[in-house]
Structure 1
Amino acid sequence: MRSMRDVPLALAQWEALSRRMEGRQVAIFLDYDGTLSPIVPNPDEARLSDAMRATLLELARRYPVAIVSGRDLPVLKGFVRLEGVSYAGSHGFDIEGPDGRGFQLEEGKALLPELDAAERELSVGLAGIPGSRLERKRFSVAVHWRHVEEARGPEVERVVDAVLARHPRLRKGGGKKVFECQPDIDWHKGRAVEWVLNALGLAREGVLPVYAGDDLTDEDAFQTLKGRGLSLVVRGEVERPTEADFALKDVEEVRRFLELLIARAGGTSR
Protein backbone atom coordinates (compact mmCIF):
# COMPACT_ATOMS: atom_id res chain seq x y z
CA MET A 1 0.00 0.00 0.00
CA ARG A 2 1.30 3.47 -0.84
CA SER A 3 0.26 7.08 -0.51
CA MET A 4 -2.07 8.48 -3.17
CA ARG A 5 0.57 11.02 -4.22
CA ASP A 6 2.94 8.17 -5.09
CA VAL A 7 0.45 6.42 -7.40
CA PRO A 8 1.18 7.12 -11.09
CA LEU A 9 -1.41 9.15 -12.98
CA ALA A 10 -3.43 7.02 -15.38
CA LEU A 11 -3.68 9.58 -18.18
CA ALA A 12 0.10 10.01 -18.26
CA GLN A 13 0.44 6.21 -18.48
CA TRP A 14 -2.30 5.66 -21.05
CA GLU A 15 -0.09 3.96 -23.65
CA ALA A 16 1.11 1.41 -21.11
CA LEU A 17 -2.44 0.87 -19.84
CA SER A 18 -3.73 0.42 -23.37
CA ARG A 19 -1.10 -2.23 -24.05
CA ARG A 20 -2.27 -4.18 -20.98
CA MET A 21 -5.76 -4.26 -22.49
CA GLU A 22 -4.64 -5.66 -25.84
CA GLY A 23 -6.24 -8.99 -26.66
CA ARG A 24 -8.46 -8.89 -23.57
CA GLN A 25 -12.11 -8.11 -22.97
CA VAL A 26 -12.38 -5.11 -20.68
CA ALA A 27 -15.16 -4.83 -18.10
CA ILE A 28 -15.66 -1.45 -16.40
CA PHE A 29 -16.68 -0.93 -12.76
CA LEU A 30 -17.30 2.60 -11.49
CA ASP A 31 -18.09 4.11 -8.11
CA TYR A 32 -20.61 6.98 -8.20
CA ASP A 33 -20.01 9.77 -5.66
CA GLY A 34 -16.59 11.36 -6.09
CA THR A 35 -15.98 9.32 -9.25
CA LEU A 36 -18.80 9.99 -11.72
CA SER A 37 -20.20 12.96 -9.81
CA PRO A 38 -18.31 15.43 -7.59
CA ILE A 39 -18.79 15.30 -3.83
CA VAL A 40 -21.37 17.97 -2.97
CA PRO A 41 -22.62 19.38 0.37
CA ASN A 42 -26.09 17.91 -0.17
CA PRO A 43 -25.88 14.25 -1.31
CA ASP A 44 -29.33 14.56 -2.92
CA GLU A 45 -27.82 16.96 -5.45
CA ALA A 46 -25.00 14.68 -6.66
CA ARG A 47 -26.23 14.61 -10.24
CA LEU A 48 -24.38 13.40 -13.33
CA SER A 49 -23.32 16.14 -15.70
CA ASP A 50 -24.72 15.93 -19.23
CA ALA A 51 -21.19 15.28 -20.50
CA MET A 52 -20.64 12.38 -18.07
CA ARG A 53 -24.01 10.80 -18.88
CA ALA A 54 -23.25 11.00 -22.62
CA THR A 55 -19.83 9.42 -21.99
CA LEU A 56 -21.35 6.58 -19.96
CA LEU A 57 -23.91 5.94 -22.68
CA GLU A 58 -21.17 5.54 -25.29
CA LEU A 59 -19.05 3.48 -22.90
CA ALA A 60 -21.90 1.03 -22.24
CA ARG A 61 -22.34 0.50 -25.97
CA ARG A 62 -18.79 -0.85 -26.16
CA TYR A 63 -18.04 -2.50 -22.80
CA PRO A 64 -19.83 -4.28 -19.96
CA VAL A 65 -20.33 -1.52 -17.36
CA ALA A 66 -21.34 -1.73 -13.68
CA ILE A 67 -21.95 1.13 -11.25
CA VAL A 68 -20.93 0.10 -7.71
CA SER A 69 -22.00 2.42 -4.91
CA GLY A 70 -22.94 2.78 -1.29
CA ARG A 71 -26.14 4.44 -2.49
CA ASP A 72 -29.43 2.63 -2.15
CA LEU A 73 -30.13 0.76 -5.40
CA PRO A 74 -33.28 2.72 -6.43
CA VAL A 75 -31.52 6.03 -5.69
CA LEU A 76 -28.44 4.98 -7.68
CA LYS A 77 -30.53 3.96 -10.68
CA GLY A 78 -32.45 7.24 -10.46
CA PHE A 79 -29.21 9.22 -10.61
CA VAL A 80 -27.59 7.29 -13.47
CA ARG A 81 -30.70 6.55 -15.60
CA LEU A 82 -28.98 4.23 -18.07
CA GLU A 83 -30.20 0.89 -19.36
CA GLY A 84 -27.97 -2.03 -20.24
CA VAL A 85 -25.61 -1.59 -17.29
CA SER A 86 -25.32 -3.43 -13.96
CA TYR A 87 -26.00 -1.65 -10.69
CA ALA A 88 -24.66 -2.64 -7.28
CA GLY A 89 -26.19 -0.56 -4.49
CA SER A 90 -25.65 -0.59 -0.72
CA HIS A 91 -21.98 -1.57 -1.18
CA GLY A 92 -23.03 -4.62 -3.16
CA PHE A 93 -25.77 -6.00 -0.91
CA ASP A 94 -28.36 -5.17 -3.59
CA ILE A 95 -27.43 -5.89 -7.23
CA GLU A 96 -29.31 -5.67 -10.50
CA GLY A 97 -27.88 -6.95 -13.78
CA PRO A 98 -28.32 -5.36 -17.21
CA ASP A 99 -31.28 -7.68 -17.85
CA GLY A 100 -33.08 -6.40 -14.75
CA ARG A 101 -32.56 -9.59 -12.74
CA GLY A 102 -31.52 -8.91 -9.17
CA PHE A 103 -29.59 -10.37 -6.27
CA GLN A 104 -29.88 -9.59 -2.56
CA LEU A 105 -27.62 -11.24 -0.03
CA GLU A 106 -29.84 -13.52 2.08
CA GLU A 107 -27.74 -13.03 5.20
CA GLY A 108 -28.24 -9.29 4.79
CA LYS A 109 -32.01 -9.66 4.44
CA ALA A 110 -32.11 -11.58 7.73
CA LEU A 111 -30.65 -8.54 9.50
CA LEU A 112 -33.18 -6.00 8.25
CA PRO A 113 -35.04 -5.94 11.63
CA GLU A 114 -31.71 -5.25 13.36
CA LEU A 115 -31.13 -2.31 11.01
CA ASP A 116 -34.64 -1.03 11.75
CA ALA A 117 -33.85 -1.02 15.48
CA ALA A 118 -30.47 0.68 14.95
CA GLU A 119 -32.15 3.36 12.84
CA ARG A 120 -34.61 4.15 15.63
CA GLU A 121 -31.85 4.36 18.23
CA LEU A 122 -29.63 6.52 16.03
CA SER A 123 -32.51 8.91 15.44
CA VAL A 124 -32.88 9.41 19.19
CA GLY A 125 -29.12 9.63 19.87
CA LEU A 126 -28.44 12.19 17.13
CA ALA A 127 -31.46 14.40 17.80
CA GLY A 128 -29.37 16.90 19.75
CA ILE A 129 -26.55 17.21 17.19
CA PRO A 130 -27.40 19.91 14.60
CA GLY A 131 -26.40 19.10 11.02
CA SER A 132 -26.43 15.32 11.41
CA ARG A 133 -28.68 13.42 9.03
CA LEU A 134 -29.83 9.82 8.85
CA GLU A 135 -30.27 8.08 5.52
CA ARG A 136 -31.94 4.68 5.63
CA LYS A 137 -30.99 2.39 2.81
CA ARG A 138 -32.35 -1.10 2.47
CA PHE A 139 -29.18 -2.73 3.77
CA SER A 140 -27.58 0.00 5.87
CA VAL A 141 -28.18 3.16 7.86
CA ALA A 142 -25.94 6.08 6.89
CA VAL A 143 -25.13 8.83 9.37
CA HIS A 144 -24.07 11.94 7.45
CA TRP A 145 -22.12 14.53 9.41
CA ARG A 146 -20.73 16.81 6.67
CA HIS A 147 -22.79 19.69 8.11
CA VAL A 148 -21.95 18.98 11.75
CA GLU A 149 -19.58 21.32 13.60
CA GLU A 150 -16.10 19.82 13.25
CA ALA A 151 -15.66 19.76 17.03
CA ARG A 152 -18.79 17.60 17.38
CA GLY A 153 -17.70 14.97 14.85
CA PRO A 154 -16.36 12.67 17.59
CA GLU A 155 -19.70 13.00 19.37
CA VAL A 156 -21.48 11.67 16.29
CA GLU A 157 -19.11 8.72 16.19
CA ARG A 158 -19.69 7.99 19.88
CA VAL A 159 -23.44 7.80 19.26
CA VAL A 160 -22.87 5.42 16.34
CA ASP A 161 -20.48 3.27 18.39
CA ALA A 162 -22.90 3.08 21.31
CA VAL A 163 -25.74 1.91 19.06
CA LEU A 164 -23.54 -0.68 17.35
CA ALA A 165 -22.38 -1.98 20.75
CA ARG A 166 -26.01 -2.95 21.33
CA HIS A 167 -26.21 -4.59 17.91
CA PRO A 168 -23.12 -6.79 17.52
CA ARG A 169 -24.42 -8.30 14.27
CA LEU A 170 -23.91 -4.90 12.64
CA ARG A 171 -20.62 -3.19 11.85
CA LYS A 172 -19.41 0.36 11.23
CA GLY A 173 -18.29 1.32 7.77
CA GLY A 174 -16.98 4.70 6.76
CA GLY A 175 -16.73 7.18 3.95
CA LYS A 176 -16.32 10.90 3.46
CA LYS A 177 -18.11 12.52 6.41
CA VAL A 178 -20.40 9.50 6.78
CA PHE A 179 -20.63 6.46 9.05
CA GLU A 180 -22.46 3.39 7.77
CA CYS A 181 -24.15 0.82 9.98
CA GLN A 182 -24.14 -2.39 7.93
CA PRO A 183 -24.66 -6.13 8.43
CA ASP A 184 -21.43 -7.60 9.82
CA ILE A 185 -21.01 -10.01 6.93
CA ASP A 186 -18.01 -10.69 4.70
CA TRP A 187 -19.52 -8.78 1.80
CA HIS A 188 -18.34 -5.54 0.22
CA LYS A 189 -17.72 -3.84 -3.12
CA GLY A 190 -15.03 -6.35 -4.05
CA ARG A 191 -17.42 -9.25 -3.52
CA ALA A 192 -20.01 -7.40 -5.59
CA VAL A 193 -17.53 -7.07 -8.45
CA GLU A 194 -16.86 -10.82 -8.32
CA TRP A 195 -20.61 -11.52 -8.33
CA VAL A 196 -21.19 -9.33 -11.39
CA LEU A 197 -18.24 -10.89 -13.24
CA ASN A 198 -19.64 -14.37 -12.56
CA ALA A 199 -23.20 -13.38 -13.45
CA LEU A 200 -22.10 -11.95 -16.80
CA GLY A 201 -19.81 -14.86 -17.64
CA LEU A 202 -16.73 -12.66 -17.30
CA ALA A 203 -14.93 -14.48 -14.47
CA ARG A 204 -12.44 -16.08 -16.84
CA GLU A 205 -9.07 -15.71 -18.47
CA GLY A 206 -8.97 -13.03 -21.11
CA VAL A 207 -11.13 -10.58 -19.16
CA LEU A 208 -9.58 -7.47 -17.61
CA PRO A 209 -11.76 -5.82 -14.92
CA VAL A 210 -11.09 -2.08 -14.56
CA TYR A 211 -12.37 -0.39 -11.38
CA ALA A 212 -12.36 3.34 -10.57
CA GLY A 213 -13.36 4.75 -7.18
CA ASP A 214 -12.41 7.40 -4.67
CA ASP A 215 -13.47 6.19 -1.24
CA LEU A 216 -12.22 3.85 1.46
CA THR A 217 -14.99 1.41 0.56
CA ASP A 218 -13.49 1.11 -2.94
CA GLU A 219 -10.27 -0.25 -1.45
CA ASP A 220 -12.04 -3.61 -1.00
CA ALA A 221 -12.51 -3.76 -4.77
CA PHE A 222 -8.91 -2.68 -5.38
CA GLN A 223 -7.67 -5.52 -3.17
CA THR A 224 -10.03 -8.04 -4.78
CA LEU A 225 -8.75 -7.20 -8.27
CA LYS A 226 -5.06 -6.99 -7.34
CA GLY A 227 -3.00 -8.92 -9.83
CA ARG A 228 -5.89 -9.65 -12.20
CA GLY A 229 -7.38 -6.25 -12.95
CA LEU A 230 -6.65 -2.54 -13.04
CA SER A 231 -7.66 -0.24 -10.20
CA LEU A 232 -7.76 3.54 -10.33
CA VAL A 233 -8.18 5.81 -7.33
CA VAL A 234 -9.77 9.21 -7.80
CA ARG A 235 -7.87 11.64 -5.59
CA GLY A 236 -10.06 13.51 -3.15
CA GLU A 237 -9.64 16.05 -0.40
CA VAL A 238 -7.98 13.58 2.00
CA GLU A 239 -4.55 12.07 1.39
CA ARG A 240 -4.49 8.40 2.42
CA PRO A 241 -2.86 5.06 1.59
CA THR A 242 -4.32 3.09 -1.32
CA GLU A 243 -3.97 -0.25 -3.07
CA ALA A 244 -4.80 1.34 -6.45
CA ASP A 245 -2.55 0.77 -9.45
CA PHE A 246 -3.11 4.22 -10.97
CA ALA A 247 -4.70 7.55 -10.06
CA LEU A 248 -7.05 10.09 -11.62
CA LYS A 249 -7.06 13.64 -10.29
CA ASP A 250 -10.80 14.31 -10.27
CA VAL A 251 -14.16 13.55 -11.89
CA GLU A 252 -13.20 15.32 -15.10
CA GLU A 253 -10.13 13.10 -15.44
CA VAL A 254 -12.39 10.09 -14.92
CA ARG A 255 -14.48 11.26 -17.88
CA ARG A 256 -11.37 11.79 -20.00
CA PHE A 257 -10.17 8.28 -19.11
CA LEU A 258 -13.54 6.81 -20.13
CA GLU A 259 -13.38 8.78 -23.39
CA LEU A 260 -10.00 7.17 -24.10
CA LEU A 261 -11.56 3.75 -23.51
CA ILE A 262 -14.34 4.63 -25.95
CA ALA A 263 -11.86 5.80 -28.57
CA ARG A 264 -9.81 2.65 -28.06
CA ALA A 265 -12.86 0.52 -28.83
CA GLY A 266 -13.58 2.56 -31.93
CA GLY A 267 -16.90 1.82 -33.56
CA THR A 268 -17.11 -1.71 -32.23
CA SER A 269 -19.79 -2.71 -29.78
CA ARG A 270 -19.50 -5.23 -26.96
Structure 2
Amino acid sequence: MAKKEKSEYIIQAVSHALDLLEQFHDEVDELGVTELSKRLKLHKNNVFRLLATLESRNYIEQNRVTENYRLGLKTLELGQTFIKQMGLLRQSRPVLETLVKECNETTYVAILKEFHIVYLDVVETDLTVRVVPRVGARLPAYCTAAGKVQIAYMTDEELENYLPTKEMKRYTPKTVIDREELKKHLKVIADQGYAIDDEEMDVGVKCVGAPIRDYTRRIIGAVSISGPSMRFTDERLEKELIPLVIRSGEEISHKLGYHK
Protein backbone atom coordinates (compact mmCIF):
# COMPACT_ATOMS: atom_id res chain seq x y z
CA MET A 1 0.00 0.00 0.00
CA ALA A 2 2.81 2.41 0.88
CA LYS A 3 4.55 1.73 -2.43
CA LYS A 4 1.33 2.30 -4.34
CA GLU A 5 0.82 5.64 -2.62
CA LYS A 6 4.41 6.74 -3.30
CA SER A 7 4.07 5.83 -6.98
CA GLU A 8 1.41 8.49 -7.33
CA TYR A 9 4.07 11.15 -6.68
CA ILE A 10 6.44 10.01 -9.44
CA ILE A 11 7.23 12.74 -11.98
CA GLN A 12 7.26 11.08 -15.39
CA ALA A 13 9.80 13.43 -16.97
CA VAL A 14 12.28 12.84 -14.12
CA SER A 15 11.71 9.10 -14.39
CA HIS A 16 12.46 9.23 -18.13
CA ALA A 17 15.64 11.24 -17.50
CA LEU A 18 16.87 8.65 -15.00
CA ASP A 19 15.96 5.84 -17.43
CA LEU A 20 18.10 7.61 -20.03
CA LEU A 21 21.10 7.88 -17.70
CA GLU A 22 20.80 4.21 -16.81
CA GLN A 23 21.26 3.20 -20.46
CA PHE A 24 24.96 3.97 -20.10
CA HIS A 25 26.32 0.92 -18.30
CA ASP A 26 28.86 -1.86 -18.65
CA GLU A 27 30.52 -1.40 -22.07
CA VAL A 28 27.92 1.04 -23.42
CA ASP A 29 29.78 4.34 -23.30
CA GLU A 30 28.08 6.24 -26.16
CA LEU A 31 24.57 6.23 -27.61
CA GLY A 32 22.82 8.26 -30.29
CA VAL A 33 19.34 9.78 -30.25
CA THR A 34 17.87 7.05 -32.46
CA GLU A 35 19.19 4.21 -30.30
CA LEU A 36 18.06 5.93 -27.11
CA SER A 37 14.62 6.45 -28.63
CA LYS A 38 14.33 2.73 -29.33
CA ARG A 39 15.57 1.71 -25.90
CA LEU A 40 13.32 4.13 -24.01
CA LYS A 41 10.36 3.75 -26.37
CA LEU A 42 10.08 7.52 -26.57
CA HIS A 43 9.76 9.86 -29.54
CA LYS A 44 13.06 11.32 -30.77
CA ASN A 45 11.91 14.85 -29.91
CA ASN A 46 11.32 13.82 -26.29
CA VAL A 47 14.72 12.12 -26.11
CA PHE A 48 16.43 15.18 -27.55
CA ARG A 49 14.76 17.43 -24.94
CA LEU A 50 15.88 15.12 -22.15
CA LEU A 51 19.42 15.11 -23.53
CA ALA A 52 19.47 18.90 -23.85
CA THR A 53 18.34 19.28 -20.24
CA LEU A 54 20.88 16.81 -18.88
CA GLU A 55 23.63 18.30 -21.03
CA SER A 56 22.92 21.79 -19.68
CA ARG A 57 23.63 20.44 -16.17
CA ASN A 58 26.71 18.43 -17.28
CA TYR A 59 25.14 15.02 -16.58
CA ILE A 60 25.40 14.24 -20.29
CA GLU A 61 27.88 15.43 -22.91
CA GLN A 62 28.04 15.06 -26.67
CA ASN A 63 30.96 13.63 -28.59
CA ARG A 64 31.44 16.28 -31.28
CA VAL A 65 33.07 13.75 -33.61
CA THR A 66 30.48 10.95 -33.51
CA GLU A 67 27.58 13.22 -32.39
CA ASN A 68 26.62 10.48 -29.92
CA TYR A 69 26.06 11.16 -26.24
CA ARG A 70 27.90 9.89 -23.15
CA LEU A 71 27.84 10.47 -19.40
CA GLY A 72 29.13 13.87 -18.27
CA LEU A 73 31.46 14.84 -15.46
CA LYS A 74 28.60 15.58 -13.07
CA THR A 75 27.74 11.89 -12.86
CA LEU A 76 31.34 11.14 -11.90
CA GLU A 77 31.22 13.83 -9.21
CA LEU A 78 28.06 12.33 -7.72
CA GLY A 79 29.57 8.85 -7.73
CA GLN A 80 32.76 10.06 -6.07
CA THR A 81 30.75 11.97 -3.46
CA PHE A 82 28.79 8.82 -2.62
CA ILE A 83 31.95 6.72 -2.36
CA LYS A 84 33.67 9.27 -0.13
CA GLN A 85 30.69 9.67 2.15
CA MET A 86 30.20 5.92 2.54
CA GLY A 87 33.93 5.47 3.18
CA LEU A 88 33.88 8.28 5.70
CA LEU A 89 30.91 6.80 7.56
CA ARG A 90 32.35 3.29 7.58
CA GLN A 91 35.74 4.39 8.88
CA SER A 92 34.51 6.97 11.36
CA ARG A 93 31.82 4.99 13.18
CA PRO A 94 34.18 2.90 15.37
CA VAL A 95 36.16 6.03 16.21
CA LEU A 96 33.00 7.87 17.30
CA GLU A 97 31.98 4.94 19.49
CA THR A 98 35.40 4.87 21.16
CA LEU A 99 35.33 8.62 21.61
CA VAL A 100 31.97 8.48 23.42
CA LYS A 101 33.31 5.78 25.76
CA GLU A 102 36.25 8.01 26.63
CA CYS A 103 34.46 11.32 27.21
CA ASN A 104 30.77 10.29 27.55
CA GLU A 105 29.60 13.16 25.38
CA THR A 106 27.76 13.11 22.05
CA THR A 107 30.04 12.85 19.01
CA TYR A 108 29.43 13.67 15.35
CA VAL A 109 30.90 13.43 11.89
CA ALA A 110 29.94 16.25 9.54
CA ILE A 111 30.70 17.38 5.99
CA LEU A 112 30.59 20.77 4.31
CA LYS A 113 27.81 21.47 1.80
CA GLU A 114 27.85 24.96 0.34
CA PHE A 115 27.43 27.40 3.26
CA HIS A 116 26.37 24.73 5.74
CA ILE A 117 27.54 21.60 7.47
CA VAL A 118 25.53 18.38 7.33
CA TYR A 119 25.83 15.88 10.17
CA LEU A 120 26.22 12.38 8.66
CA ASP A 121 26.48 10.30 11.82
CA VAL A 122 26.18 10.59 15.59
CA VAL A 123 26.89 8.47 18.65
CA GLU A 124 25.04 9.70 21.73
CA THR A 125 26.08 9.89 25.34
CA ASP A 126 23.97 8.03 27.91
CA LEU A 127 23.85 11.07 30.20
CA THR A 128 20.39 12.53 30.83
CA VAL A 129 21.36 16.10 29.96
CA ARG A 130 22.66 16.04 26.39
CA VAL A 131 22.48 17.73 23.01
CA VAL A 132 19.65 16.64 20.71
CA PRO A 133 21.06 14.56 17.79
CA ARG A 134 21.15 16.45 14.48
CA VAL A 135 21.85 13.80 11.85
CA GLY A 136 20.88 15.19 8.46
CA ALA A 137 20.49 18.71 9.81
CA ARG A 138 22.07 21.63 7.93
CA LEU A 139 23.68 24.26 10.15
CA PRO A 140 25.69 27.38 9.24
CA ALA A 141 29.40 26.65 8.93
CA TYR A 142 30.58 29.98 10.34
CA CYS A 143 29.18 29.40 13.84
CA THR A 144 29.71 25.66 14.36
CA ALA A 145 32.92 23.92 15.38
CA ALA A 146 32.63 21.31 12.61
CA GLY A 147 32.05 24.04 10.06
CA LYS A 148 34.70 26.51 11.20
CA VAL A 149 37.42 23.85 11.30
CA GLN A 150 36.72 23.05 7.64
CA ILE A 151 36.51 26.56 6.19
CA ALA A 152 39.49 27.73 8.29
CA TYR A 153 41.90 26.10 5.84
CA MET A 154 40.52 27.90 2.79
CA THR A 155 42.70 30.48 1.08
CA ASP A 156 41.75 34.15 1.49
CA GLU A 157 40.31 34.13 -2.03
CA GLU A 158 38.34 30.93 -1.45
CA LEU A 159 37.00 32.26 1.83
CA GLU A 160 35.99 35.58 0.29
CA ASN A 161 34.00 33.73 -2.38
CA TYR A 162 32.63 31.25 0.14
CA LEU A 163 31.22 33.52 2.83
CA PRO A 164 27.67 34.74 2.18
CA THR A 165 27.54 38.15 0.51
CA LYS A 166 24.60 39.17 2.65
CA GLU A 167 24.88 39.80 6.39
CA MET A 168 25.41 36.66 8.40
CA LYS A 169 22.69 35.78 10.88
CA ARG A 170 23.33 36.18 14.59
CA TYR A 171 22.02 33.09 16.44
CA THR A 172 23.27 34.00 19.93
CA PRO A 173 25.06 36.98 21.49
CA LYS A 174 28.34 35.13 20.84
CA THR A 175 27.83 34.52 17.10
CA VAL A 176 30.59 36.22 15.08
CA ILE A 177 28.94 37.99 12.15
CA ASP A 178 31.66 40.51 11.24
CA ARG A 179 33.54 39.18 8.21
CA GLU A 180 36.98 40.52 9.17
CA GLU A 181 36.66 39.35 12.77
CA LEU A 182 35.61 35.92 11.53
CA LYS A 183 38.60 35.71 9.17
CA LYS A 184 41.00 36.45 12.05
CA HIS A 185 39.26 33.82 14.16
CA LEU A 186 39.57 31.24 11.36
CA LYS A 187 43.32 31.89 11.03
CA VAL A 188 43.73 31.04 14.73
CA ILE A 189 41.74 27.83 14.17
CA ALA A 190 43.94 26.84 11.22
CA ASP A 191 47.08 27.40 13.31
CA GLN A 192 45.89 25.39 16.31
CA GLY A 193 44.20 22.57 14.36
CA TYR A 194 40.82 22.60 16.11
CA ALA A 195 37.75 24.81 16.53
CA ILE A 196 35.45 25.57 19.43
CA ASP A 197 31.80 26.60 19.19
CA ASP A 198 31.41 28.59 22.40
CA GLU A 199 27.61 28.91 22.45
CA GLU A 200 27.74 30.54 19.00
CA MET A 201 24.92 28.43 17.53
CA ASP A 202 22.88 27.56 20.63
CA VAL A 203 22.92 29.17 24.06
CA GLY A 204 24.09 26.61 26.63
CA VAL A 205 25.77 24.32 24.09
CA LYS A 206 29.48 24.03 23.36
CA CYS A 207 31.28 21.97 20.77
CA VAL A 208 34.86 21.21 19.77
CA GLY A 209 35.82 19.92 16.32
CA ALA A 210 38.85 18.72 14.35
CA PRO A 211 39.34 18.22 10.59
CA ILE A 212 39.24 14.93 8.71
CA ARG A 213 41.49 14.57 5.65
CA ASP A 214 41.67 11.92 2.94
CA TYR A 215 44.63 10.45 1.05
CA THR A 216 44.87 13.60 -1.11
CA ARG A 217 45.43 15.67 2.09
CA ARG A 218 42.17 17.52 1.36
CA ILE A 219 39.77 18.20 4.23
CA ILE A 220 36.59 16.21 3.57
CA GLY A 221 34.83 16.51 6.91
CA ALA A 222 35.11 17.04 10.64
CA VAL A 223 34.67 15.12 13.86
CA SER A 224 33.18 16.93 16.84
CA ILE A 225 32.18 16.53 20.48
CA SER A 226 29.12 18.43 21.66
CA GLY A 227 27.44 18.94 25.00
CA PRO A 228 26.04 21.35 27.61
CA SER A 229 28.34 24.27 28.33
CA MET A 230 28.22 23.51 32.06
CA ARG A 231 30.24 20.34 31.40
CA PHE A 232 32.55 21.92 28.80
CA THR A 233 34.69 23.99 31.13
CA ASP A 234 37.86 25.62 29.84
CA GLU A 235 39.96 23.22 31.90
CA ARG A 236 38.16 20.14 30.58
CA LEU A 237 38.37 21.38 27.02
CA GLU A 238 42.10 21.95 27.25
CA LYS A 239 43.06 18.81 29.17
CA GLU A 240 40.58 16.24 27.80
CA LEU A 241 38.23 17.15 24.96
CA ILE A 242 40.56 18.99 22.58
CA PRO A 243 43.26 16.27 22.67
CA LEU A 244 40.57 13.60 22.18
CA VAL A 245 38.91 15.25 19.19
CA ILE A 246 42.26 15.99 17.50
CA ARG A 247 43.36 12.39 17.97
CA SER A 248 40.04 11.12 16.62
CA GLY A 249 40.29 13.36 13.54
CA GLU A 250 43.79 12.07 12.88
CA GLU A 251 42.68 8.46 13.38
CA ILE A 252 39.82 8.74 10.87
CA SER A 253 42.12 10.57 8.45
CA HIS A 254 44.68 7.79 8.73
CA LYS A 255 41.98 5.21 7.96
CA LEU A 256 41.18 7.21 4.79
CA GLY A 257 44.81 7.11 3.65
CA TYR A 258 46.08 10.44 4.99
CA HIS A 259 49.66 10.62 6.24
CA LYS A 260 51.35 13.69 7.61
> Normalising TM by the smaller chain, what interval?
under 0.3
Q: Name the TM-score, length of structure 1 as normaliser.
A: 0.23
Higher strand content, 1 or 2: 1
Higher helix content, 1 or 2: 2
Which structure has the higher relative contact order (CA within 8 Å, separation 6+)? 1
